[in-house]
A and B are shown apart, each in its own frame.
Chain A
Amino acid sequence: MTDPSALQATGLRLDNILIALGSRTLVSIDHHIAPGDVLTVMGPSGSGKSTLLAFIGGFLDPAFSARGHVNCNGADITDAPPQARRAGLLFQDTLLFPHMSVGGNLVFAVPQSVTGRAARRDYAGDALCDVGLDGFFDRDPDTLSGGQKARVALARVLVSDPAFMLLDEPFSKLDAGLRDQIRRLVFERAKARRLPVLLVTHDAADAEAARGALIELAPASADGNGT
């Protein structure tokens, strides 16, 4: 807001990123996501949207080659292990760990700095309250409705104290009414915590609701992408 270089030091900076499979360029992107902002990347399936998320999250399949840098709040995390990046991941499936209770899923995500069994449980319990699921701690995730599962997945990400959020079409499997509600909840919480958000989707309504910058990836065959 004041000095542009200070602005550049916070948020998520995607610095001349170029991802290729063999000789074929899939994604080329250069963008800065300020804290609380959303960057939406749209494109047809196969255009490399999820590959971009995998690269930023640190899970890129070795079959791909990538250039460029990812900076998060001034630190270069390009080569950091996934555990050190503090990426908040949401996929189109909620992927709640089926062998843990709802609360167990959250406790698993609570940072190590919170010590003591009781303290970690309280911390997770508060996060559940925060998404309107008070009293769901001991429930089996599989007995929850679609909307409740989505809320638990969001709470699990938030409780881990992420530095930024990576959303891989997280609303596409919800029915229309619910989709709106969860979408608003996710963006609102990210904004409140001033988290930079990268959203990939093929739903134009997602992009509209995100109210941020939009990048459209070209279909798989082309190289180079417009901004």
Chain B
Amino acid sequence: MKKRKERIDRGIKVRSEDIFALTSYREMIYLLAPRALPVVGLLLFVPLFSPYWREIFISTAIYALLAISWDVLVSVGLISLGQSFFYGVGSYVAGALNHYWGLPPVLTLPVATIGGAAICTIALLPVLRLRGIYFSMVTLVLPLMILRLVEATRIFGGTEGLTGLSPFPGQLTEMYIANACLLIALFGFRRLLDSDYGLIVRGINDNDRAVMNAGLNIHWYKTQILFLGAAVGCFAGAFGTHHDMFAGMPGFALDYSIMPIAAAIVGGTGTFAGSVLGAFILVPLSEILRALGALRIVFYGLFLVIFVVGIPEGLFHYIRRKYHQFERWVDVE
């Protein structure tokens, strides 16, 4: 007798939006557990680590924010290859406010988030009409151009950058700011994209002419999403610059463009949770591999290939699918 594996969707997936979820503790836990996991993990579990690892988790949160920012832009069909543009603008705005006017992080973070996002949106507005690879090319080139501009004109400290910026009051405070903002971005964008507004945004990605034909100004929606994505990226930059107590050319470096994309792809795009998951795998992994010295990049690349080939849909999509399924072996004649 042969056996085959049968997979059945859990009924609760269908009912989860309804009052039925409140009928038993089992169903409530089933629904709440995946949502509670990142909250408990980021606010209670991660702060228990040693100061060295906390440091790594803070930079993980920065990359996770950049990955969310990338995923936000992807939701409307904009593929950014220049997340470092957002990071760099955010870091220079916060750095300049702190360095020249002595504003504390309490003020520089929000100003850099909103102001930086406005600068990025205006800078990218002319290319917003471009689709696919053309938008990507411009975003790739922009941070590299600014890098040379800073070097040549020696603005904002030139190659030296702006040093001696105010740090955060303490490592734990810093960690809680990063993780709280990460959670707000994660749940906020998930909710936004689930709303009717999110339907329009995903519709533009799916078929922009159909959305135009529905009487909606797609360029206005694209601008809004660009602003939101840029705001998350700029916040990451502003946060990172106070974390490093330094704003400089490395902010526009390619690392900040490539790592978030890798994280979002490994974790799975379109869910934001995938981006966060990806960042929390890749950044610590890169740190663990440091022990391998020069071979680090080889193994790192190998892991990336294994993830992308093994689970092309993305880790989060895979886990979610399994979570909502029963599996059992049944007999086949």
Task: Indicate whether A and B interact.
Answer: no
- Which residues of A come within 8 Å of B, CB atoms? none
- Which residues of B come within 8 Å of A, CB atoms? none
